[in-house]
Structures are given as C-alpha cells and as structure tokens.
C-alpha cells in the first residue's frame, strides 16, 4: 500500500462516526506493520542494530534480563529488514538517575502525561533532592507509559523532552524505556505504545484489584516489538507526524462545521419558538422541515426537533385555536365538581408564576385538579412471590413517553391490595426518583398491556377524572418546560433526585379545550412520524458511511 492509496481512503474514514479516532489508530497500526512507508534495500537491517546494542551492553557492563521466548502475534508478518525483539533487549527499563541534590529538574505528575501522540509533556520545576526518592526517574529521550487503569487504556504515554538539565522524576505509575546507543528512535517506540494491539493485549494482562489494576513490567519489557531499520524508523515517524497533523486539521474542520451546524440548528428552532403568527410559524416550520438534514449530522440531533415540537404543542403554537370549542374553563369546572373541589377564580390562578403564556381560551390546572394521584406498593421481603403474586411495574419499565415491558417482575399481594392498586387503562405513570437529573419525572401512559398489574412505590400514578387529557398532560410533562418544572421540585439526596406524590399534585399543567387537545395530539403524532423518518435517514446515512469506512480500513490493513 502506498501513500496515495491511503489518502484516497482518508476522507471516507474521516467522515464516519469517530472516524478521526479510527484514522489515528489505523495510522499507528500501519506504521508498526511496515505498511506506511516503503522499505529501502539500502537501509542497514535491524539485526545489525541488535548486534550493536549487545556490544554496548558488554562494553558498559549493563545487565539485561534474559528474555523468554517472544510471543509473536498471529497474522503479523514483518517486512524485509525488520526483526522481532523486545524493549528490554534494546535498552533499560525503569533506569535510575544519579544526580546532584541541588540540581533543578522536571517533575511530572500523571495529570501532565499526555494522551495525544503529538502533544508534548509538561513539567513542574523541582530540586532533585526533593523527588529523587519515591518517584519514577527519567531523562530526555526516555519513553514513559502509564501502567495503571484507566490511564493505560487512555493511552497516557510520552517521549520526555525539554526537561530542565535533561532529567526528571514523576508519578510512580509509569514504566520507562531508555534506549541504548540510539539504536531506536524513541518516537517510534511511542507509536508502538499507542497502538490498539499493545493497549488491548496489555489490558488482558493487567493484575490487581478493580480500579487499581496495572500492566505488569514484564509485559512492557518483554512483549514482541517490531523493530525496523533505524533509517526506516525515522521515515515512519516523519510520516506519522504528517498524517497526525492532517488528522488534526480534519478534526478542527469538523469541529468548526459542527459548531456552525449547531448554531444554525439553534437559530432555526428559535425561529419556531418565537413565531408570533400562524404565518410566521408555517414559514419557520418549512425552513426546518426542508433543511433539517443539512442542519443535522447524527440521529441524536433529531432530539432537539422533538423537544421543540412538544414545547410548541404545550404552548398552543402548533395548531390554531377554534372559538367553537367547548370552554376549557367549563370542562375544568365539571371535573372539579366531580372531585368535589371548589373552583378557584381566574384571578387567583393568574397570581401564580406560570412558566409561559397560554392562549386566552386555555387555563392552568394543578394535576390534582383533574387527576387522582397516588403512590404505589413498597417492595419488601414479605412481597416475595409465593401464591398470590401479580406483575408489577418498576422504574425501569417506565421510560420517557413509552413503557419497556420486556422484563416484568412479580410480588405477593395481600387481601384487597389488587383492587386498590391495580392499574387501569389511561393511567399516567410518573417516575418518582432517579440518579440522573435528566430522567427525573419521566412518564408514560398505561394502556392495560398486562392484566392485573400493579406498580411499585417509586412510580406515581395519576388517574384521570372524567376526561381524556392524559395524552396532552404527558406531552407537557415530557416537554422541556414540564421537565424543568419537575427538576425544580425534585429533592436531591445522596445523588438521587426524587419527587413526591404531594409535589406532583401541585404541578400546574396547561389545559386547552378537549377538542383542541385532540388536534394537538394528532399534529404531534404526525410531526413525530416525520422525526422518525429523519432519524431513520440519518441512521441509514451513518451506516453507509460506517460500512464504507470499514471497507476502506479492511482494504488498507489486509
């Protein structure tokens, strides 16, 4: 494979999801397999380098640990002039520095070890006397790699350079390689240490307890290392530098495009939200509909549009109002009368600080005004299913806008509990607590999918009273405004956000005329289907790009 062939596939891979990261890994992988630059018959073979290193060891009386038989990776053949060896044959592992106490050197904690190939290492100035004990020693030109998880997996490794007075020390969680004779370019060693093959195999060989696992020194020192001729090492390093710089430019360009795309998408959505007339709304909606594919790149981007649709719907901006609709105030009075509530005056309701303005023929109602709100059954050891057990819903079953009923559990009910706690079609189910602020209060409608089903106490049930408004209420609670209201009411304890039956009862919900609610729900369903189509198209585009990228990578690595 020549450089021209690689560049022909470069753009295809870069455009795939995580394409730049895949390119960087591919570059490193091709580099250590001898597929990135051509070999030259004029280069001195790597076997000669090994002989020279051994002569230096004998002359300087530098001992080396006897290497065990190398485990050569399968399906990895080396080009002519290369040789399999290991780092402990090429230099020293974790050497010590013998320096004057008063010398100023560099100190490198783990936080300053870079993850990026081209990022230089930084340091703090220290006196040698203060760091010579209890820390890892190194010098300019040494190669260091983090041995502890997750730093090892994150590719924290570097070639030390520009250290004060040439030397330094740092975190004890480093493994250090120091070359003998200059038989190996340290930057080539760094390329190898950042390859997926080295990282993946190192992870498999880690030892220690969870969270404190480390790569053994023997793996670092003795794993099979593909050594090219020194002249080719330098050509490889130059080519990797060139290609990594190209990746940087691609990444910067993509980030600039993404920021512009986000800005344009935000502007388009803002135009939707700020439209004051039906004509402005239709115009803004046409712009969004016709240009959304160019305003979005990932399927997740459609989420912005979905949230905007819900917000427009619950503010009365999605469909036109009809003066012939039965008054929302009249319907509310009928519901409250059935629940034996006294209707508050409109003036009293206006005193509340509502989150936004609603059309003149809408009103604000507390959930408790038109729902019967209650908690569920607490799960205890005595609920272990024995003979009178029934299915129940857990928090995991109630997602935002839908129910996940793939896994249903059962617990024992006592006499009369099924009649009291069973779910009915049309019940609105609201999650009481969650560790994520974004998931608090997620809700869905129960449509009697499972007979004789009850719910756990971490799910709050809101049962409609003499009306059919749960679909619109669901829209509001799952809209940005509704979610913000529930977040503001949630209590945080030990990282868990929780609501209560009492707080749910006090939430104000916009209440349009029932006929308008049906029109809004139908319109939202229509627009959500369009979002589904947009999302599907983006998924298909992403899959095609991923397939092309995978094909290109396979072509380049075969």
Average pLDDT value over all residues in the chain: 88
Q: How far apart are CA 461 and CA 205, in angstroms?
A: 51
Surface-to-core class of residue 462, CB atoms within 10 Å of its CB (0-12 exposed, 13-18 middle, 19+ buried): buried
End-to-end C-alpha distance for the chain, whole angstroms? 10
Average pLDDT over residues 430-437: 83
Q: How far apart are CA 73 and CA 70, in angstroms?
A: 9
Which range has the worst mean pLDDT, 2-6, 55-59, 87-91, 336-340? 2-6
- 416 or 520, greater pLDDT: 520
Answer whether 180's CB lies under 8 Å from 208's CB.
no
User: In this structure, what DSSP letter does residue 70 have?
Assistant: P
State yes or no: pLDDT of 460 exceeds 60.
yes
Q: How far apart are CA 254 and CA 402, in angstroms?
A: 35
Answer whether 462's CB lies under 8 Å from 373's CB.
yes
- Per-residue confidence (pLDDT) for residue 343, from 0 to 100: 42
Identify each DSSP E strand in 516-557 by its residue range: none
State yes or no: pLDDT of 317 exceeds 50.
yes
Which range has the worst mean pLDDT, 60-69, 337-346, 385-394? 337-346
- Per-residue confidence (pLDDT) for residue 5, from 0 to 100: 65
CA distances from 27 to 86, 186, 240, 436 (A): 21, 17, 7, 38
- 101 or 16, greater pLDDT: 101
Percent of the chain topping pLDDT 90: 59
State yes or no: pLDDT of 166 exceeds 90.
yes
154-164 pLDDT per residue, tens: 999 999 999 99
- Per-residue confidence (pLDDT) for residue 342, from 0 to 100: 43
Give the rounded distance of the alpha carbon of 414 from its chain centre: 44
The sign of the CA dihedral 517, 523, 527, 529 is: positive
Answer whether 80's CB lies under 8 Å from 118's CB.
no
State yes or no: pLDDT of 400 exceeds 70.
yes
Walk me through the domains of the chain, giving residue ranges and CATH numbers: 44-228 (3.90.220.20), 251-316+522-557 (no CATH), 328-512 (3.90.220.20)
467-490 pLDDT per residue, tens: 789 999 999 999 999 999 998 888
Does an H or E element contain 238, and which?
A: helix 230-274
Average pLDDT over residues 386-391: 93
Which range has the worst mean pLDDT, 71-75, 334-338, 390-394? 334-338
Position 491 confidence tier, pLDDT thresholds 50, 70, 90? confident
Helix axes 278-295, 302-314, angle to 10 degrees: 170
- Per-residue confidence (pLDDT) for residue 17, from 0 to 100: 77
Which range has the worst mean pLDDT, 2-11, 209-218, 265-274, 468-477? 2-11
The residues facing 459 across adjacent strands are: 431
- Per-residue confidence (pLDDT) for residue 237, from 0 to 100: 97
State yes or no: pLDDT of 527 exceeds 80.
yes
Question: Among 513, 484, 490, 411, which Cα is nearest to 452's?
Answer: 411
- Per-residue confidence (pLDDT) for residue 461, from 0 to 100: 96
Q: How far apart are CA 419 and CA 452, in angstroms?
A: 9
- 453 or 182, greater pLDDT: 453
State yes or no: pLDDT of 290 exceeds 90.
no
17-50 pLDDT per residue, tens: 788 888 899 899 999 999 889 999 999 999 999 9
CA distances from 547 to 111, 209, 536, 543, 554 (A): 37, 38, 16, 6, 10
State yes or no: pLDDT of 403 exceeds 60.
yes
φ, ψ of residue 234 to 5 degrees: the values are -65, -40
CA distances from 250 to 20, 240, 254, 542 (A): 8, 15, 6, 18
Exposure b/e, 509-545, CB count within 10 A at least 16 = b: bbbbbeebbbbbbeebeebbeeeeebbeebeeebeeb
Does an H or E element contain 205, and which?
A: none
- Per-residue confidence (pLDDT) for residue 129, from 0 to 100: 97
State yes or no: pLDDT of 516 exceeds 60.
yes
CA angle, residues 289, 293, 299, in degrees to nearest 5: 110
- Highest-confidence range of 275-284, 351-360, 411-420, 502-511, by mean pLDDT? 502-511
- How many other β-carbons are positioned within 10 Å of the β-carbon of residue 26? 23
Position 435 confidence tier, pLDDT thresholds 50, 70, 90? confident
203-248 pLDDT per residue, tens: 999 999 887 899 999 999 999 999 999 999 999 999 999 999 999 9
- Per-residue confidence (pLDDT) for residue 2, from 0 to 100: 52
State yes or no: pLDDT of 431 exceeds 90.
yes
Alpha helices in 150-229 (DSSP H): 186-193, 196-204, 217-222
Spatial strand order in the sheet of 371-374 = 371-374, 459-464, 428-431, 443-445
- Per-residue confidence (pLDDT) for residue 553, from 0 to 100: 66
State yes or no: pLDDT of 556 exceeds 80.
no
Average pLDDT over residues 267-280: 80
Q: How far apart are CA 234 and CA 24, in angstroms?
A: 18
340-368 pLDDT per residue, tens: 654 443 434 445 789 899 998 999 999 99
Q: How far apart are CA 36 and CA 235, in angstroms?
A: 9
- Per-residue confidence (pLDDT) for residue 85, from 0 to 100: 95
Q: How far apart are CA 342 and CA 492, in angstroms?
A: 34
Reported pTM: 0.69
- Per-residue confidence (pLDDT) for residue 66, from 0 to 100: 61
CA distances from 46 to 38, 81, 268, 484 (A): 15, 6, 61, 65
Q: How far apart are CA 82 and CA 224, in angstroms?
A: 12
């Amino acid at each position: 494979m020549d450089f021209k062939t690689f560049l022909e596939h470069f753009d295809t891979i870069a455009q795939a999801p995580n394409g730049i990261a895949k390119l960087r890994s591919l570059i490193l992988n091709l580099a250590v397999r001898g597929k990135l630059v051509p070999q030259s018959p004029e280069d001195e073979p790597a076997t000669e380098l090994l002989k020279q290193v051994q002569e230096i060891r004998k002359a300087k009386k530098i001992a080396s640990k006897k290497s065990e038989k190398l485990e050569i990776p399968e399906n990895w053949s080396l080009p002519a002039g290369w040789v399999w060896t290991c780092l402990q044959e090429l230099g020293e592992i974790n050497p010590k520095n013998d320096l004057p106490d008063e010398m100023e050197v560099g100190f490198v904690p783990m936080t300053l070890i870079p993850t990026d190939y081209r990022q230089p290492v930084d340091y703090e100035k220290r006196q040698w006397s203060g760091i010579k004990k209890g820390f890892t020693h190194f010098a300019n030109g040494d190669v260091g790699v983090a041995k502890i998880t997750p730093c090892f997996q994150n590719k924290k490794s570097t070639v030390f350079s520009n250290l004060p007075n040439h030397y330094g020390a740092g975190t004890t969680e480093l493994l250090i390689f120091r070359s003998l004779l200059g038989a190996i370019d340290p930057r080539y060693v760094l390329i190898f240490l950042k390859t997926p093959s080295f990282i993946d195999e190192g992870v498999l060989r880690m030892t220690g307890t969870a969270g404190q696992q480390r790569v053994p020194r023997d793996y670092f020192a003795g794993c099979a290392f593909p050594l090219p001729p020194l002249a080719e090492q330098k050509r490889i390093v130059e080519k990797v530098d060139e290609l990594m710089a190209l990746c940087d430019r691609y990444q910067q360009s993509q980030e600039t495009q993404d920021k512009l795309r986000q800005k344009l998408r935000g502007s388009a959505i803002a135009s939707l939200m700020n439209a004051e007339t039906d004509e402005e709304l239709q115009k803004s909606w046409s712009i969004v509909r016709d240009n959304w594919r160019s305003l979005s790149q990932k399927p997740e981007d459609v989420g912005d549009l979905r949230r905007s649709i819900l917000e427009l719907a619950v503010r009365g901006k999605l469909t036109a109002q009809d003066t012939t609709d039965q008054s929302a105030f009249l319907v509310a009075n009928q519901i409250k009368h059935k629940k034996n509530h006294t209707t508050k005056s409109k003036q009293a309701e206006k005193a509340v600080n509502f989150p936004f303005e609603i059309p003149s023929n809408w009103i604000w109602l507390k959930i408790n005004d038109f729902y019967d709100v209650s908690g569920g059954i607490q799960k205890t050891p005595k609920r272990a299913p024995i003979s009178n057990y029934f299915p129940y819903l857990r928090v995991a079953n109630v997602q935002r806008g839908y129910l996940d009923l793939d896994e249903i559990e059962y617990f024992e009910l006592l006499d009369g509990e099924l009649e009291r706690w069973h779910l009915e079609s049309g019940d609105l189910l609201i999650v009481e607590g969650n560790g994520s602020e974004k998931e608090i209060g997620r809700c869905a409608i129960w449509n009697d999918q499972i007979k004789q089903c009850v719910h756990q106490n971490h799910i709050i049930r809101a049962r409609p009273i003499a009306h059919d408004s749960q679909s619109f209420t669901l829209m509001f609670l799952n809209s940005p405004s509704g979610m913000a209201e529930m977040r503001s009411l949630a209590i945080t304890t030990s990282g868990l956000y929780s609501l209560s039956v009492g707080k749910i009862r006090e939430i104000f919900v916009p209440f349009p005329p029932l006929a308008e609610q049906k029109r809004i729900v139908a319109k939202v369903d229509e627009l959500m289907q369009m979002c589904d189509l947009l999302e599907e198209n983006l998924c298909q585009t992403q899959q095609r790009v991923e397939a092309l990228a995978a094909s290109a990578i396979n072509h380049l690595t075969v």
